[in-house]
């Protein structure tokens, strides 16, 4: 997989190691492994994910860097009660 050089490999490894959000750490690890030359199926097996998910996160990283590895706002089920009703 092609990976855009937004950050160095060493910097990405450091970020993945110290990231407190487990999902984001896994996404950073996908980018690191892709940068090291591993294929999507190999990355997916090593991180217990799917090849498609690996491609998705590497493409998002390529588009906008590490900022794009966060979940987009508005994800999940909306609250049943408004903040006033709570």
pLDDT at 23: 93
Nearest to 34 by CA among 60, 64, 68: 60
For the stretch 8-23, pLDDT in tens is 999 999 999 999 999 9
For the stretch 39-56, pLDDT in tens is 999 999 999 999 999 999
Distance (Å, whole) CA 8 – CA 80: 44
Domain segments of the chain as ranges: 9-69
**54, two tokens:** 């690996």
């Amino acid at each position: 997989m092609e990976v855009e050089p937004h950050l160095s490999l060493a910097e990405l490894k450091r970020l993945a190691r110290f990231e407190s959000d487990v999902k984001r750490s896994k996404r950073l690890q996908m980018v690191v492994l892709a940068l090291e030359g591993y294929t999507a199926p190999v990355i997916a097996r090593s991180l217990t994910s799917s090849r498609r998910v690996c491609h998705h996160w590497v493409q998002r990283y390529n588009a906008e860097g590490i900022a794009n590895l966060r979940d987009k706002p508005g994800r999940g089920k909306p609250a049943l009660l408004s903040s006033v009703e709570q």
